Amino acid sequence: MDSFTSFLCLCSIIFQSISLIEAQASLCRTTCGDIPINYPFGIDDGCGSPYYRHMLVCSNLGNLYLRTPSGRYPVHSISYSDPHILVTDPLMWNCRDGDHFRPTRPFSLDTSTPFTLSSQNDYLFFNCSEDYVIVEPKPVFCERFPDRCDSSCDSASYLCRHLPECADALSASSCCSYYPKATESLRLMLRYCASYTSVYWKTIGSTTNSPYSQVPEYGIRVDFDVPVTTRCLQCQDPSKGSGTCGFDTQTHNFLCLCKEGNVTSYCKGHDISKHKRAEVIAGTVTGISAAGAIGIGIGIWVLKKVRAKAPVTCGVQSNENRVF
């Protein structure tokens, strides 16, 4: 690799590092479209909890998506008081489909994340082959075969008889309700059923004691945990500067993100440029800035010495630019 190529590669590394540090020090976006983004989530790297890193994606058009192993799903809403996300799957059956079933895919979550499928979801399967799926009225079937009750798909389901928003959408297709306990169970069901959809029970009003306090709506409810720590609570405390909880993108260690920079405790009452626990970050910025200045000075000298048409390879070795 010649001197000119070395200089360009050095500059690339320097500016990438500067961008990383500046991104951590900047304030995090708190909305995507009209959906609030609060802890533990973040749509900017280094914001929120590292357990949910890269889980949410905000598009340039302001649309929020949840990333899972099975794809990206539009987020309808996020509740922080009753921690859950509501997502939709455009490939699932909907009222407009009627008796026409499109190819679909099984929804899945990464089991290593703090996300879980809510027990408030119900799954409806359509046109299942009775050679492979037990399609029976569940009350009667469970009374006769209690040991096989959980493996049956309920053809007497209330939701099948009262499809939300379109009770008469199905005219020539069968429907049954089944709750798969694992992603593999869902895959097997879809192997022998034409399609499926998810319905969650939405709580309305301020009480859940009334039998009419919940209504069914299409969508998938995904529950999440909020990893609360003393450091995060101190960081967010208005009396201590109202910082934003975040993390170091390299080490995943906790950081309190402040307007003036990052600290490991809280914003107010700390001189961020001199705070001992912030010296690593401040020192990194200073070191990178100094390296950048030195690199630019060296670059000016190098540019005077190298050929005008020197090949740029940035580390790709060839017979023309080998170091040895």
d(CA 152, CA 251): 47
Mean pLDDT of the chain: 78
Residue 229 has pLDDT above 80, yes or no: yes
d(CA 292, CA 276): 24
pLDDT, position 13? 46
pLDDT digits (tens, 9 = 90+) for 176-202: 999 887 778 889 999 999 999 999 988
pLDDT, position 204? 80
pLDDT, position 48? 94
Highest mean pLDDT among 55-64, 246-255, 294-303: 55-64
What percent of the chain clears pLDDT 70, i.e. is strictly above it? 72
CB atoms within 10 A of CB 67: 13
d(CA 296, CA 273): 25
Report the half-sphere exposure of 211 (CA within 13 A, side-chain side). 0
pLDDT, position 26? 56
Highest mean pLDDT among 16-25, 69-78, 205-214: 69-78
Residue 168 has pLDDT above 60, yes or no: yes
**Mean pLDDT of the 138-147 span:** 89
pLDDT, position 151? 87
d(CA 81, CA 36): 13
Give the pair of three-digit tokens for residue 13. Answer: 């590394």
d(CA 302, CA 98): 70
pLDDT, position 115? 94
Give the pair of three-digit tokens for residue 233. Answer: 């609570």
Among the ranges given (128-142, 216-230, 265-279, 282-296), the one the predictor scored with the smallest mean pLDDT: 282-296
Q: What is the pTM of this model?
A: 0.72
